[in-house]
Structure 1
Amino acid sequence: MRLFFALWPQEEVRTALKTAGWRVAKACGGKPTRAENLHLTLVFLGEVEPARLPEVRAAADAVSARAFELDLRELGYWPRQRIAWLAPTEPPRGLFDLVSALASGLGARGFALDDRPYLPHVTLLRQARCRGDLPKVDDIVWPVREFVLVSSRLGNEGASYAQLAAWSLPG
């Protein structure tokens, strides 16, 4: 199983992200992320044996984090990967606390995780070719009240995702 933890947007946030993606696509070309696939990755586990799924869930069960808001207002482009993205200009402490708690719990259970710095973002567009200034998109305020465990499958049409479980964040 190919697994990751993520923030999954509510419908109104998903609609705003989709609108932003189409606006950027008009300027940069490329392929907008399908609305049902829009998310912000917290921790990517990669391939995990199905027998280890209870350990993954136990790591999430042990997380003690509170709800927070993401203010997505920074539009950016990674030319090498040809990805246009939207991110919080100043990610809230709650986001880093959640990522740290998940990574710590997973690491304690023997899962090997990526050690690169965490760069929270929502991928709006792939195969983009942005030149010059990026278009203006509306700021998006995302009230984060839960996180999810997701299984991904890669196919000819790109990735397809299935939510396996969700955990509420109090507050």
Structure 2
Amino acid sequence: MKRLFFALEVPDFEKCAITLWREKTLPTLTSSVITDNLHLTLCFLGNTDIEIEQNLIAKLNHIHAQKIDLSFTKIGYFKKPKVLYIQPNKVPEHLLYLVQQLNEIALSEGGVLNYLDYKPHITVARKTSDHSHIILSPDIKIQFTDIVLYHSQCTKNGLRYRKLRNWPLN
């Protein structure tokens, strides 16, 4: 079984911009998410067997959604998992609709509903204290052009997210 999730892929240039902002703003941070792992989660699938994975892929081949433009200008913190993140100043309806569609697809394959409290964000650090009070907020604009199915793998060097498949947004 694979631990899977759907996400919006952050383009390389913007991954670097996020990393540079984080390094400049929080130079002593020791629990940063590696640059290659930066993404915006849409729907967490959890441990998934190969048959369900193939069914999900087949259903995603028929999904139609438009490109998503977001401006990340806010910082937030989830206390329970101790996660520092950046978030967009506005959330377009078509992003919320896409999240709803993906959750319905996951539900049809026996998944659990996880979009009711959906808060789009990009995690920049884990297992950290609350740094959301910092003065230098991000100002990073991202156009998301692909939905990606990622496999979350635990390695000796930490979590790695391997891209299994992607679907372009229109």
Matched with 2:74 is 74
CA RMSD of aligned residues (A): 1.9
**TM-score, normalization: structure 2?**
0.89
Instruction: Decide whether aligned partners of structure 1 residues 75 and 131 sit closer, same or farther in structure 2, where only a CA change above 3 A counts.
Output: closer
d(CA) in 2 for partners of 1:48 and 1:9? 24
Unpaired runs of at least 5, structure 2: none
**Deviation, structure 1 residue 156:** 3.6
Matched with 1:48 is 48
- SS class of match (2:120): coil
One-letter identity of the residue aligned with 1:61? N
d(CA) in 1 for partners of 2:70 and 2:27? 25
Please list, as runs of the form range in 1=range in 2, the aligned pairs for 1:26-105 lying within 5 A after superposition.
26=27, 29-105=29-105
Unpaired runs of at least 5, structure 1: none
1:11 equivalenced with 2:16 (yes/no) = no
d(CA) in 2 for partners of 1:96 and 1:33? 25
Contact 1:45–1:113, Cα closer than 8 Å, also in 2: no
- SS class of match (1:130): coil
One-letter identity of the residue aligned with 2:102? L
**TM-score, normalization: structure 1?**
0.89
**Deviation, structure 1 residue 45:** 0.3
d(CA) in 2 for partners of 1:98 and 1:114? 13
| Count of aligned pairs between the two proteins | 169
d(CA) in 1 for partners of 2:44 and 2:64? 19
Same amino acid, percent of matched pairs: 26
